[in-house]
Amino acid sequence: MRFNGQLSEWNDDRGFGFAFVPGQAERVFVHIKAFEGNPRRPEVHDMLTFETSAGPKGPVAKRIRYARTEEKAEPVRASGRRAFIIDWAVTAVLVPLQIFAVSELQLPLWKWALLPLAALWAFIAFNWDKGAARRNERRVSEANLLLLSIPGWIGAVAAQQLFRHKSSKHSFYYKFRAIGVIQIGVITWLLWRGF
């Protein structure tokens, strides 16, 4: 059964909000990923039509569409559907540079395990944060996720692509990409200078 409702709250950075259905007391949770097609970004007071399912804290909207079809300008996440090819291109340069830098330092073999461990740690942190967001629990801060991305870049990229977490929030992934590019620059400079 489809309901007509109005978006009463919307957090565009986090991609979710709440709608109310006339005659019903309970708010309906609305997430950006539940919108069908490629609509524009939602705004408070938008009229929506949707189905609902039971969530842990109340009804959750699914198969969401705008109630008026003429409101279909400005694609949602046109740039927000992140071009992971850029991240993998950075990875293709950064990871060999990291490995080469570690080998140039002539570190003991056990220290080579630090790179894959850092990648695994970043992967787990992104997965944990995604689960915490779904359960509405305490989150891993963005600053910590970015910090973990420095040594664990490949794990962070893999987690973002696999879990679709932190992949559409512009303010986060621009900083994330900057970290990868800066690392390439710093490691290249250090290698050129001979450490």
pLDDT along the chain (195 residues), means of 10: 90 90 87 84 89 89 79 40 76 87 72 84 91 79 91 89 76 87 90 77
Q: Would you state the pLDDT for residue 31?
A: 93
Q: Which of 76, 101, 85 is nearest to 177 (CA)?
A: 85
Where, residue-wise, is CATH 2.40.50.140 in the chain?
3-66
Q: Would you state the pLDDT for residue 70?
A: 41
Residues 119, 171: Cα–Cα separation, whole Å: 22
Residues in the chain: 195
Residue 165 and residue 159 in contact, taking contact as beta carbons nearer than 8 Å:
yes
Helices first, then strands: H and E counts in the chain: 5, 5
Residue 62 and residue 52 in contact, taking contact as beta carbons nearer than 8 Å:
yes
Q: Would you state the pLDDT for residue 107?
A: 64
Residue 60: phi and psi, rounded to 5, are -120, 130
Q: Would you state the pLDDT for residue 195?
A: 62
Residues 35, 70: Cα–Cα separation, whole Å: 16
Q: Would you state the pLDDT for residue 75?
A: 38
DSSP string, 142-179: HHHHHHHHTTTHHHHHHHHHHHT-SSS-HHHHHHHHHH
- What dotted CATH number matches 3-66? 2.40.50.140
pLDDT digits (tens, 9 = 90+) for 138-193: 888 889 999 999 989 889 999 988 887 776 677 787 899 899 999 999 889 888 88
